Amino acid sequence: MSYCGGVRRKTQTSWERALAQTLTKIGLRFTSQRQMVYSVLLDVRDHPTAETVFLRSKQAMPEISMATVYNSLDALVKCGLIAQVNLHRAATRFCPNMQEHGHFYCDDCGRVYDISLAPGAGMVDIPTGFEPRHFEVSISGRCLECGRGESRAHSSERSR
C-alpha cells in the first residue's frame, strides 16, 4: 500500500496545533480521529467524498468508524478548516483550501479541481438592497487529462 497519511509524526506540527486551537475555540475536543481526518484531507487534495475519507483514514487507523468520520468532517466544517463542496447532484466532497476559489468538475473522470478566481470573477449584478455573503463558482466540463486521452484516441483512429 503506497498511501502514507498521517500519524507517523510524534511531535505536533504547526497545523496540528492550529487544529487543536481552532477546535477548542468553538468548544470541540481535539481528538486523534479529527486529526486523522484532517490530515487525510491535507495529504491528497482531490476533494474526496466522506466515503473516500473513511477508506483513507482506515488505512492508518483501522478502528475508525464511518460515523466518526462523518462527525469529524462535521466538526472541521463547523470550525472553518474545511469546506463542503456540492456539485450538481453528486455526493458532497470536502476541500481544505479555504482561500476563495472555484471548482472545475470533470464530467468524464469525475475529478474535482480547484480553480483560482480572476479578480472580479465573482462580480455579478446584485439587486440594490441585497447583501451577498457567499458565492460559489462551479464549472463542469472536461479536464486537460481527459481531453488529451480523447485526442490520442482520435489520432490513433486516423492512423488506422
For the record, the C-alpha cell of 60 comes out as 492508518
Largest Cα–Cα separation, the chain: 65
Beta-bridge partner residues of 113: 104
Q: Which is nearer to Zn ion, 91 or 109 (CB)?
A: 109
81 versus 95: smaller Cβ distance to Zn ion: 95
* 60 sits near Zn ion (criterion: CB under 5 A): no
- Of the candidate spans 12-20, 35-43, 121-129, 140-148, the one that interacts with Zn ion by CB under 5 A turns out to be 140-148
Binding residues for Zn ion restricted to 80-119, rule: CB under 5 A:
95, 97, 106, 108-109, 114
What phi and psi, each to the nearest 5 degrees, are found at residue 90? -70, 165
DSSP H or E run through 58: helix 50-60
Contact set with Zn ion (CB under 5 A) = 95, 97, 106, 108-109, 114, 143, 146
